[in-house]
């Protein structure tokens, strides 16, 4: 059996990793597989709004694989400071195991692109991170800030943690800020 | 608000479209959003096995958007002949509505690429369709043929409807056939 087919089988587990965000108007939590589809497709239709020139294939590859490490390391909530401290080490171990299941060249390519996403420095990684930060704002705004209220998120903290949207796209940041301010006015975010 | 952001909000509904396949070892049905992620990521790691030269960006775009029409038209099961008869007309209407929400150039590009996937003629579309057919075989084999048994699928019909895998990749077809034959021997598929 091909090594890749075994890797693809294991990917099925990402459908069982629960995120903080809610989908379908607040009906249930999102899982990391459907989230990965949503951000990759969003990047596809928002490409033109990037501040800098980007390579959309690399951006989409990043978004397709960016959460795969959660199959071993679990989802870490952005506003859980304690869990965020150990996130990098836990995920690096998971990356070694999971990408290492494949032939060396494929493993190396995906490991490199995942690390580029994580460091968030290149124009491609910045745009991919921006879409990843934009999506929970859209989803929270869709269901009366359900996850924001549940985790007591403040507007100030959300703006700080969404800075990558501004760095990647002034235009998307303008729209994101409108949604954040609207959520604050409606009482879904604290100050 | 940007037209694209409104489209991205509507995409959330694909997470509520249930497919025949089961995930997580048979725990629950798969939804079309997580399926779309799984096939796009599978295409990414299986690119080298295509019989013909393919443009992986176009293949991934096809797989990201191939099921979006189900938001309006629902999922149509491959082995439900009656529903398959009306599938094309229902989905064409849905495509006009959904892609039409976006600026003309984006709408035109995605409509074109979706139609190319549906017609399955180009090398890119053939490979994308092959991955879309391969995945239910992998998932069914993962959970003792649960969806095959539920729908009384025969090995003969499955082989006919999986022909695109053979046309797109001899090597993947060899592996798929091994899984199909194993499923038949285990009694998960009828003859």
Complex ipTM value: 0.95
Conformational region of residue A103, where left means phi above 0, alpha means psi within -120 to 50, and beta covers everything else: beta
Distance CA A169, CA A147 (A): 25
Picking from A11, A14, A41, A108 by the largest number of B CB atoms within 10 A of its own CB, the best residue to mutate is A41
Contacts of B1 in chain A (CB under 8 A): 175, 178
Distance CA B92, CA B115 (A): 9
Task: Count Cβ neighbours within 10 Å for each residue of A77-96 and write b for 16 or more, e otherwise.
Answer: ebbeeeeeeebeebbeebbe
Residue A30 token pair: 């999102």
Write the CA distances from B25 to A13, B153, B190, integer angstroms.
9, 19, 21
What pLDDT digit, counting tens, does each position of A18-61 carry?
999 999 999 999 999 999 999 999 999 999 999 999 999 999 99
Q: Which of A33-37, B21-25, B87-91 has the lowest mean pLDDT?
A: B87-91
Binary contact (B24, A4; C-beta < 8 A): no
CA B77 to chain centroid, in Å, comes to 11
Which residues have CB under 8 Å from B181's CB, separation 6+?
Answer: B155
* Chain A residue with the nearest C-alpha to that of B17: A24
pTM summary value? 0.96
Mean pLDDT of B83-88: 87
Residue B93 token pair: 């209407």
Distance CA B147, CA A65 (A): 27
CA B129 to chain centroid, in Å, comes to 7
Q: What percentage of chain B exceeds 90 in pLDDT?
A: 90
Closest CA to A97 of A10, A185, A189: A10
Measure CB to CB from residue B142 to each of A12, A16, A33 and give the nearest one: A12
Question: How much is the pLDDT for B129?
Answer: 98
Residues A158/A190, Cβ–Cβ less than 8 Å: no
Burial of B25 (0-12, 13-18, 19+ CB in 10 A): middle
Question: How much is the pLDDT for B74?
Answer: 86
Measure CB to CB from residue B44 to each of A15, A64, A139 and give the nearest one: A64
* Chain A residue with the nearest C-alpha to that of B48: A106
Please tell me whether residue B94 adopts helix, strand or coil conformation.
Answer: helix
What pLDDT digit, counting tens, does each position of B110-142 carry?
999 999 999 999 999 999 999 999 999 999 999
Residues A155/A113, Cβ–Cβ less than 8 Å: no
Residue A126 token pair: 């910045």
Measure CB to CB from residue A33 to each of B37, B44, B139 and give the nearest one: B37
Helices A56-65 and A104-119: angle between axes, nearest 10 degrees: 90
Binary contact (A37, B37; C-beta < 8 A): yes
β-partners of residue B23 are: B28
Please tell me whether residue A102 adopts helix, strand or coil conformation.
Answer: coil
Give, for A64, the enclosing helix (H) or strand (E).
helix A56-65
Residues B156/B79, Cβ–Cβ less than 8 Å: no
Contacts of A23 in chain B (CB under 8 A): 12, 15-16
The sign of the dihedral angle between the CA atoms of B114, B119, B124, B127 is: positive
What pLDDT digit, counting tens, does each position of A51-89 carry?
999 999 999 999 999 999 999 988 888 788 888 888 889
Mean pLDDT, chain A, integer: 95
Question: How much is the pLDDT for B75?
Answer: 83
Distance CA A98, CA A11 (A): 9
Count CA within 13 A, CB hemisphere, residue A16: 15
Please tell me whether residue A27 adopts helix, strand or coil conformation.
Answer: coil
Distance CA A57, CA B65 (A): 15
Residue A75 token pair: 């989802």
Residues A138/A179, Cβ–Cβ less than 8 Å: yes
What pLDDT digit, counting tens, does each position of A94-133 carry?
999 999 999 999 999 999 999 999 999 999 999 999 999 9
């Amino acid at each position: 059996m091909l090594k890749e087919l075994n890797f693809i089988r294991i990917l099925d587990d990402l459908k069982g990793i629960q995120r903080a965000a809610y989908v379908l108007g607040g009906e249930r939590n999102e899982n990391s597989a459907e989230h990965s589809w949503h951000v990759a497709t969003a990047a596809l239709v928002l490409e033109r709004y990037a501040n800098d020139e980007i390579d959309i294939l690399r951006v989409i590859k990043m978004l397709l694989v960016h959460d795969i490490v959660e199959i071993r390391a679990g989802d870490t909530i952005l506003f859980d400071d304690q869990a965020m401290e150990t996130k990098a080490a836990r995920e690096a171990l998971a990356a070694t195991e999971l990408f290492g299941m494949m032939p060396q060249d494929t493993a190396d390519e995906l490991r490199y692109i995942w690390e580029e996403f994580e460091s968030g420095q290149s124009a491609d990684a910045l745009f991919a991170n921006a879409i990843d930060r934009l999506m929970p704002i859209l989803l929270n705004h869709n269901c009366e800030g359900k996850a924001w209220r549940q985790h007591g998120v403040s507007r100030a903290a959300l703006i700080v943690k969404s800075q990558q949207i501004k760095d990647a796209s002034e235009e998307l940041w303008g729209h994101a800020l409108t949604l954040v301010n609207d959520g604050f006015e409606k009482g879904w975010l604290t100050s």
